[in-house]
Amino acid sequence: MSYSQIITTMLTEELILQQTALLPEELKQAVLLYINFVVQQYQKQENIVITTSNTPTDRRGLFGVLKGKIWMADDFDAPLTEEFADYM
């Protein structure tokens, strides 16, 4: 993203916040619902997921992202010991 794009994005976000701050609470809720709707439509159209860091990520890029970070014990599916009898 170029510097001018970053500035434009910041200005747009700032303007949105300023304009929203002027609205009564019930209209703020309506704006939030509309933003959620637009994000969902964008995700469907572009096959995009918005991550927790608010960055769009290609949905296909999420597969394998945790590879090597999660493991399962070799005896995962072994029969449980007697100490777990009350839970079975």
Tens of pLDDT along 48-80? 666 666 665 655 556 777 788 888 888 888 888
How far are the Cα atoms of 17, 42, 73 from residue 81, in angstroms, in the given order? 58, 50, 16
pLDDT for the residue 33: 93
**Count of positions (residues) in the chain:** 88
pLDDT for the residue 57: 60
